[in-house]
Structure 1
């Protein structure tokens, strides 16, 4: 009897396919309407599950639709971007997750609460208010009800760690405290998930949807001078790191050049990398299905490159980016 598998990671519940040949990668699959295509063995293992079975444990913390057990990657991207904003401030993913959850609860408890009110109470959560702006807080207060609901959930984007939450009432100024009917303490949900690689980076949030890698950087942040003292670090992968859930590697650095006459980048695309700037948020997209041949060493295949350090589109910072895959 044929087994059917469903794509569970994407914008919504994905297509169902029958696995025809898994003897070698890529696997051959067929949709219910008879269309046959190939899927790499790694992608099949990561992004498809047997129908009517639970979502794999390693993805459970990213589920956005508990009924279907699927992950809407666009919603999770928004959730992770908000958490990473605060991670830069507290330098710890679990603590940032807890702070964001508490902020989201406070907004639910009192929708009219102002960002500046929440800002004054961040110190109680172990978050230095001097490192957070009202704009950062607004990412929570102005989030859609759907995103805020995910931020409040105990299991969404939850990694193993100590419970650091405070109740919504503790975030709202004492003169404005209101009792939240039916409020219950959150239960700690254990997830056997390794800490995301981006949690060890500086100001770099990554998301993969199919073959599209999206990288988000907040250009308003800085991490002090580089070792040479000639530049200020804005973002860094801190070396070459694995793209989440993929075999490709990425190396990225964004910096400000000190003592140089400011210039603005006019080019928004380099080799398979496109940049978009919205306020201080720089978004970079890379198509991981593309290749540009071997590197000079012959040990890797080039996927994307800024081809040296280039000016960021619409801004004065410089960026160096390389995405590659090792040659087996």
Structure 2
């Protein structure tokens, strides 16, 4: 039964691998296409610093590049024969036991482990935790999309499909149902990983029943992960990205470049003092209902060090993206590297 399970997993994980590659191609295209699409970066659900949607897509992409690597590394440990007889010694075959084992493994295209593994389930457990890890990454994308699709954010929208995501009571609503399902599936697979870890504690040379728990866990983990991948591919292929709304949200949040002002001021007066002065300018802008630029310009400690022209340049969000473009290039370069398992 163990060898039969391995053969089934080899075929099933081949489909998972295909899905990972398709998802990566979609994300790579989005990362490149939107490398200059300015949007808010968010920290603990608060407006933080400017980023680009291409940078966000690139960070999503790298998760699945690593998953492709993990799967390739897992194959060597997982695709192996289990053939050991009653307690793993192959005593019934006498001196021919090892030769028979190797011949059968070769016929099935499987590897051979140093010892039989009927009660050491670490590789099978690893396969389920791998699937749960993939689902968790898909859930991260789903969570991001759910938040970006909020009515008061409006930066992305799921493709409109008749009957999907509509409200039975409110005609104006279009719920990000696919993204929501990705978060649910991630939670479900986390439970499967936990269950598999519990089920892997076997006794002696043949377990008294714990391995039967796998019969429900392993196939369902494969099916749910495959379904999550298909769902994510459909979601991302049809994702509507509102570039104008992203830019509008950036422009409505002028304080997201306060760190840039602080870093420009720090060489003159020290970082901590710069932090406190800029924070006070933020409070002044909010309290008096004036622009951030006006508040900064009217702060003597800032005006003495930075000219109005310098401040205008510093306050341009597109100038404070760090090396995000280089990070996108690195992620895309990995798509062309054999080390990531890509066929591009």
Q: Normalising to structure 2: TM-score of the pair?
A: 0.23
- Greater relative contact order, per chain length (Cα 8 Å cut-off, separation 6+): 2
Q: Greater Rg, structure 1 or structure 2?
A: 2
- Point out the structure with the larger strand share: 1
